[in-house]
Amino acid sequence: MKKILILMLCLAATTFSQNREETESTARINPEKPTVYLSYVCQDEKKIHLRMNNNTIWHVYVEVDKSYFPTKKPIQLQNGAKVYAIPNNEKIPVFYYAERDQLEDVKGIKIPKLEYHFTNGGGWLASNDSILFSVPIELLRKGLKIYVEFFYEWEMAKSGDTRKEPEHRVYFRGADIGSLNTGIKATACQK
């Protein structure tokens, strides 16, 4: 009896592991990239321009300067709600946060105060879409990093509530610009 129970547990664990791997591999559009990530675009004297990429088969919700209604891209969420997506590949002010980068040993670094000049809104970044946004250059100097919070469409209840779900964050480190490890070179923006 013990042998049968052990065999059943082993089979269940193997099946669960295979299902998780299959879900992860089929959820990514480009299997070589993370599910949701920030990428460097360029910089000028005052700002660093980044792109938030949704590399999943799901839509993700992000806090932005306003709610996007209506746009030219209607989408349907898994809970059945019909909404409009944030315009793809356009510059959108995104709500982001800054914090110390614990991987960098920079003593005495202070986080500049963030000032937002827009009301809290939000929108859906459609599957395989991206948006552009900029961050003041002082927020991405060595020793600091920024992050953007988001959640997946499947985490939203029919009522629209997401407060009971875990937070997801996507980070970009200032130290990655010009790092030999990342290959990200500081590039001036084209005018």
Q: Are 64 and 91 in contact (CB under 8 A)?
A: no
Percent of residues, the chain, with pLDDT higher than 70 = 75
User: Is-contact 80 128, C-beta < 8 A?
Assistant: no
The pLDDT, as a whole number, for residue 182 is 66
Quick one: pLDDT at residue 21? 46
CA distances from residue 180 to 85, 91, 110, 142, 177 in whole angstroms, order as listed:
36, 28, 25, 14, 9
Tokens of 125: 């970044």
The DSSP-derived string for the chain is: -HHHHHHHHHHHHHHHHHHHHHHHHHHBSSTTS-SEEEEEEEE-SSEEEEEEEE-BSS-EEE-BSS---S-S-EEE-TTS-EEEBPPTT-B--B--EEEE-TTS--TT--PPPP---S----EEE-TT-EEEEEEEGGGGSTTEEEEEEEEEGGG--TTS--TTSPPEEEEEEGGGBT-TTT-BPP-BPP-
Give residue 68's pLDDT. Answer: 62
Residue 151's pLDDT is 92
Q: Which of 14-23, 30-39, 84-93, 100-109 has the lowest mean pLDDT?
A: 14-23
Q: Is 128 exposed, middle or buried (0-12, 13-18, 19+ CB in 10 A)?
A: middle
pLDDT of residue 18: 39
Span 123-141, pLDDT tens digits: 899 999 999 999 999 898 8
State residue 81's pLDDT score.
87
Supply the pTM of this predicted model.
Answer: 0.80
Read off the pLDDT of residues 10-23 as tens digits, 9 standing for 90 and up: 555 554 443 444 45
pLDDT of res. 154: 87
More confident residue, 106 or 36: 36
Residue range 142-176, pLDDT digits in tens? 889 999 999 999 887 766 666 677 889 999 998 88
- pLDDT at position 166 is 82
pLDDT value of position 22: 46
